[in-house]
């Protein structure tokens, strides 16, 4: 059974029957004859990466590799997934916050005391990063992958690779 963030897909070698288990719609058991070979793959959702295999049959398999097993009895297999931290937001100064919005994640707020933050935005997703108006601080500009937006109160990016965003604030 996969943990939040992905799915396990597999193929039964002798029959070509496909298996699929996702944490939102888990499959609890599959009955296969002894000696049957099965190839399982950990397939992460956007914004996640494989965290590793569990269960006697797959525990020694590298986290990014498919698990090949031969049914010798009851086998329990699990896959975990971890946040890929594709986007990193760093806030500079004593005040301020950045709000990330995307149809995929809704709204994610990063405050100065949480910095650096990693909103769950994956490769291929578009997000808007904005600085809410606040009389207690002045926005001094974007940096790194949002540098082209200068002093605008927002930055819009389509994530294509690991992305680093800085926002600098000054007290008013």
Q: Where are the domains of the chain?
A: 6-83, 87-171
pLDDT, tens digit (0-9, with 9 covering 90-100), for 107-163: 999 998 888 998 888 778 899 999 998 888 899 999 999 999 999 999 999 988 889
pLDDT, tens digit (0-9, with 9 covering 90-100), for 45-92: 766 778 888 888 888 888 888 999 888 888 888 888 776 778 889 899
Q: How confident is the model at residue 93 (pLDDT cuts 50, 70, 90)?
A: confident
What's the burial of 86, exposed, middle or buried (CB within 10 Å: 0-12/13-18/19+)? buried
Give residue 1's pLDDT.
Answer: 44
Question: What whole-number distance in Å separates Cα of residue 152 and Cα of residue 29?
Answer: 53
Give residue 2's pLDDT.
Answer: 45
Does 6 have pLDDT greater than 80? no
Hey, how many other C-beta atoms are within 10 angstroms of the C-beta on 44?
Answer: 20
Identify which has the larger pLDDT, 29 or 31.
31
Question: What whole-number distance in Å separates Cα of residue 57 and Cα of residue 79?
Answer: 12
Does 14 have pLDDT greater than 70? no
- Please name the residues in contact with 119: beta carbons below 8 A apart, sequence gap of 6 or more: 87, 89, 100, 105, 108, 110, 127
């Amino acid at each position: 059974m996969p943990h939040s963030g992905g799915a396990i897909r597999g193929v039964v070698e002798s029959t070509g029957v496909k298996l699929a288990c996702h944490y939102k719609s888990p499959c609890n058991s599959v009955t296969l004859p002894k000696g049957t070979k099965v190839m399982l793959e950990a397939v992460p959702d956007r914004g996640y990466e494989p965290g590793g295999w569990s269960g006697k049959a797959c525990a020694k398999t590298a986290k990014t590799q498919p698990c090949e097993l031969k049914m010798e009895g009851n086998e329990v297999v699990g896959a975990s997934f971890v946040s890929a931290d594709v986007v990193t937001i760093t806030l500079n100064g004593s005040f301020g916050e950045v709000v990330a919005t995307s149809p995929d994640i809704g709204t994610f707020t990063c405050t100065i005391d949480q910095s650096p933050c990693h909103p769950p935005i994956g490769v291929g997703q578009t997000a808007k990063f904005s600085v809410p108006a606040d009389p207690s601080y002045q926005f001094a500009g974007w940096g790194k992958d949002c540098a082209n937006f200068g002093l605008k109160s927002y930055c819009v990016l389509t994530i294509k690779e690991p992305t680093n965003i800085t926002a600098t604030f000054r007290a008013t």
